Structure 1
Amino acid sequence: MPHRVEFTPQQLNDLTRGGIEKHIGLYLGPIVLGFAFDSMLLGCIIQQLIWNVIWTPSDRLFNKIILYSVVLLSVATTIFNDCFFFHAFASGFGNWYRLIQLDYIRWHPILDCVTVTLVHIFYLERGYQLHGRSKWVPIIVLPFLLADIGGAIGGTVMLFKIPDTYDLITIKPFFYTWIGGTLVVDLLITSIIFHKLIKSRTGWSDTDLMINKLITISVETQLPSLVVAIAFMVSYGLKANAGLNVFFELFHPKVHVVGLLTVLNSRNKLRNQLNGTSNVKENNYIGKEDKDRSSKFKPKSKSKSKSGDQDIENDINYNPTQLTIIFEDELIVPHLGTRIESSSGSSSDDITTDPRKSQDETDTPSVDGGSDVKDQGDFSAGVQRV
């Protein structure tokens, strides 16, 4: 390991102590809080993992590989951080120079990058599937993802060439490439998913409400990681060797893992809301023309010059068919345009549908699947891939 040959260990210790004691809260406070945040987020990850195992025992193999990999990496990172804490504040108690040495810090970019990249691959696959396997999705994201990985590797290599945080400013190009790439990938993937969900709105009240919930989940799970990455970049730009940088670095990857688990576990709540029983379950269509009407059920105008075909056309405008939604795990959502009476004391005869039928309803999908597979895939992908 590189070391400063022009100073004795005692001189280095005295110099470090003098510098830290002038701003002890700026240097030691954030480091201690970083260890605390890291441990708390690990507890959240383990709790969410337990819920995920209980709620989705038959999840896709791809999801399980990504999930268990990032959880194991999170546990390993916390153990690594605890060793750093013991090295600096227990076995190294009284040795001030250990607080600015890079024996442990130089490995953080690699551990961070591996964990965050796996989370990005998960979201990238979701965006890819959501857009019907369009090749432009990975083409846009992959260059920034590779830049993120390259910056982390280059930063780690450079950290092995400097002895302590006094020279940390020398890795600025690699640091900004690493964290900047992470930030851009987060923004791109969130925008890709957000744009597709916005375009998936159909005009049906229940369906659009569910899409709005998916958009909310997507934004809420990505926002914390974006904020932490921006704060990390700003703190490094202001003072590269301050303890505030260590604060963000200690728990930065776990913010992404918590967001991933939140997305996976939210599917259970969405399924319950879609399939929950109530006294009346009705999905209302609100088209562009309906927004201009003062009353939703405005009587249809009939004239002597109009034939029976005009009435059928009006029925189609007022009662468009609601698509069946099929999830990847073979869960089928019933027709949301169906009126369902209270479950208590009801039988199969209690379920009735709208008596008005259009000529085109014979071509629409039923609960067993249908002709419009593309539209079904778009929305089902949105539920699975927020």
Structure 2
Amino acid sequence: MALSLSSQIDVPTSGPILVEGILQAVCQGVIFAQAARYWECPLNDTMRMKAYVLTLVGLSLLQTMYTTYKLWYILVYFEYWSTSPLVWADLFINGLICTICETSLIRRCWKVTKKRKWVTAPLAFLLVTIFIANVYLSITLGLGSKHGEANDSPLRAERSFSAQFSFNYWIFGSLVLDVAITSILMVWLFQSKTGLENLDQALDHIVAVTWESAAVPSIFQIVAVSLYDSKSDESHHLVLFFSLMTGKLYTLGILRSLNSRPNLRGRMTSDDIGRRSLSDWQWSNESENTTSRRWSEVRTRSCPHSGVRS
């Protein structure tokens, strides 16, 4: 009996699902910690920003719950995932999270490029068409689960031309968009360096946060595209594993960048950035201040050691 049940499980494709479930749960815990830290930040964000954060956290939790259900459906019920009535939601939820996060990153690109539409308009068009392809693919998988071939891989369950085209456009378009956003933000940050050591260190911190927000999901998409291009049937769920983790990585990056603002603003307003605090300067006695400073310099030159010459 155990042999017949286990024989229904496609191990090469179910293994990545198990790893995905574990990583989704771990990332969800980190997201909760980052969200709790966000609400403790001293910055006065607008209600729109707070609603944006709540939406990301809520969708991330929904994705984790959905992945847990997928694990239960395959490893406990011993059913093929392609026969589940919720097979369509896998790609849709992740695509929705990525779209919301990438919208925020495109808005950053719009700001750093001084609102140049010729830079951000292609990014926005690519984002919208990728989301449309994602929705169409999700609908196709949902309809195919009712009469398609029973197996653990949605990529093998639906082989129509439109579904294959939508998946190709979704995965390759996402890669191009991620790389473009990351490149624009990185180039702007490196061009903003001034040569001041402490200021450049603050910019390096921004670069690191940007890398977490956009570049890490880009790496996962590159791996997914490479595996998909290998044309191996056993790599189908590895392709989905790397693609479906991008939603969690984007969410973590956005929350990380929001939580880094108080520390970064504190460093930008500190004295070691190159600015001098004038709060102790007596503007009404400028001549006395100048005389006192010159006398102090004379004493310092005449007293290179601890003693003072008479």
TM norm structure 2: 0.76
**Structure-2 residue corresponding to 1:262:** 256
How far apart are the structure 1 equivalents of 2:213 and 2:282? Answer: 41
Could you tell me whether the CA contact under 8 Å between 2:66 and 2:90 is conserved in 1?
no
Offset, 1:251: 3.0
Q: Which amino acid aligns with 2:205?
A: K
**Structure-2 residue corresponding to 1:87:** 73
* Residue of structure 2 aligned with 1:219, choices 208, 211, 214: 211
**Structure-1 residue corresponding to 2:7:** 17
1:252 equivalent to 2:246? Answer yes
Relative distance call for 1:102 and 1:227 in structure 2 (3 A) is farther
1:73 equivalent to 2:59? Answer yes
* Residue of structure 1 aligned with 2:237, choices 234, 238, 243: 243
Relative distance call for 1:14 and 1:161 in structure 2 (3 A) is farther
Relative distance call for 1:178 and 1:117 in structure 2 (3 A) is same
Could you tell me whether the CA contact under 8 Å between 1:151 and 1:176 is conserved in 2?
no
How far apart are the structure 1 equivalents of 2:193 and 2:213? Answer: 21
1:191 equivalent to 2:183? Answer yes
| Structure 1: runs of 5 or more not aligned | 1-12, 284-335, 341-346, 356-386
Q: Which amino acid aligns with 1:146?
A: V
TM norm structure 1: 0.62
* Identity rate, percent: 20
Offset, 1:101: 3.0
Q: Which amino acid aligns with 1:167?
A: A
Relative distance call for 1:60 and 1:169 in structure 2 (3 A) is same
**Structure-1 residue corresponding to 2:275:** 337
Relative distance call for 1:117 and 1:131 in structure 2 (3 A) is same
* Partner SS for 2:275: coil
Aligned residues between the structures: 272
* Residue of structure 2 aligned with 1:167, choices 154, 157, 161: 157
Q: Which aligned runs of 4 or more in structure 1 are off by greater than 6 angstroms?
A: 13-16
**Structure-2 residue corresponding to 1:39:** 25
Encode CA deviations 1:177-219: one digit per residue, 9 max, x unaligned.
1122222222222222222223323343333332232223212
**Structure-1 residue corresponding to 2:93:** 111
Q: Which amino acid aligns with 2:280?
A: S
CA RMSD of aligned residues (A): 3.1
Offset, 1:66: 2.3
| Structure 2: runs of 5 or more not aligned | 291-310
Could you tell me whether the CA contact under 8 Å between 1:168 and 1:240 is conserved in 2?
no
Higher helix share: 2
**Structure-1 residue corresponding to 2:280:** 348
How far apart are the structure 1 equivalents of 2:8 and 2:70? Answer: 22
Relative distance call for 1:239 and 1:102 in structure 2 (3 A) is farther
* Partner SS for 1:235: helix
How far apart are the structure 2 equivalents of 1:282 and 1:260? Answer: 28
Relative distance call for 1:338 and 1:178 in structure 2 (3 A) is same
Offset, 1:249: 4.8
Q: Which amino acid aligns with 1:208?
A: D
Q: Which amino acid aligns with 1:188?
A: A
